[in-house]
Chain A
Amino acid sequence: DVVMTQSPLSLPVTLGQPASISCRSSQSLVHSDGNTYLSWFQQRPGQSPRRLIYKVSNRESGVPDRFSGSGSGTDFTLKISRVEAEDVGVYYCMQGKHWPQWTFGQGTKVEIK
């Protein structure tokens, strides 16, 4: 199975300051169609996960532009340019390239200092 490793697992941030989460996969996520299937999800307390970013850097409709994704191959990053109170939650990366099962990172808990 492809292993997804996130860091840090806990991220206390001051309001208005930037935040960065790293995700590393044990195998390349580049598909034969040329795309890289790495997604980021936000899970607010008590809610379902919500996809924020797909194919490394594409923001979902309605996602604030303070969220950005980058990376290639096996190393990826989610950045929040200025953390707001509504960004509190757990963030997961997910690989969607290797069948027979998708795998998620362990999750990074973002909280306000």
Chain B
Amino acid sequence: QVQLVQSGAELKKPGASVKVSCKASGYRFSNFGISWMRQAPGQGLEWLGWISGYNDNTIHAPKLQGRLTVTTDTSTSTVFMELRSLTYDDTGVYYCARDGIAVTSPGLADYWGQGTLVTVSS
């Protein structure tokens, strides 16, 4: 069965960086992409970025350009999301979700990871 397993909770200071992993299993990694979403406390869902599992093409939400890097390790079917220069507004639960394979693929978000709580606090 398809599973996305994320790394554990993180506590970071303002200005620091965080790197969250998402390990995929149960399907051919190169046939799909992975999107990252986040949810601030008590708030809705926000799409952050996407990476193809086939050719490493990526797209980021414009508001995060320059702070967000999404990469893959195809040998372990793992996707990494790194967010730099953290502020208090970056506090929330970060989710990975399986998505389309190409830049022009329609959005899927058919399977989700369990979420990773990132807390930014001094």
Contact = CB atoms under 8 A, between A and B. Distances in A.
Nearest to A32: B104
Interface string A13-42: 000000000000000000101010101010
B47 A97 contact: no
A99 B35 contact: no
A86 to B, nearest CB: 18
Interface residues of A, number: 26
Q: Which of B61, B106, B110 has the most CB of A within 10 A?
A: B106
A92 interface: yes
A37 B114 CA distance: 24
The secondary structure that dominates the B interface is: loop
Q: How large is the interface on B (under 10, 10 to 19, 20 to 34, 35 or more residues)?
A: 20 to 34
Interface in B69-122: 95, 97, 103-104, 106-115
B16 interface: no
B46 interface: yes
Contacts of B35: 102
